[in-house]
Amino acid sequence: MSKQDELQMDQQQLVDAWQRTLPEYVNESDRVSVLADEADEQTLRITLDTAGHQMYSFDFKATYVDSREIKVTLIDVEKDGRSVDERTPIIQQLVEDYTRHIHECAQALHVLTNA
pLDDT tens digit sequence for 80-109 = 889 999 999 999 999 999 999 999 999 999
Please state, in angstroms and rounded to a whole number, the distance separating the CA atoms of residues 11 and 2: 19
Is residue 8 pLDDT above 90, yes or no?
no
DSSP state of 27: -
Q: Taking every pair of C-alpha atoms in the chain, what is the biggest distance, in angstroms? A: 47
pTM: 0.91
Is residue 54 pLDDT above 60, yes or no?
yes
Beta bridge partner(s), residue 70: 64
Residues 6+ apart with CB under 8 A from 84: 56, 77, 78, 91
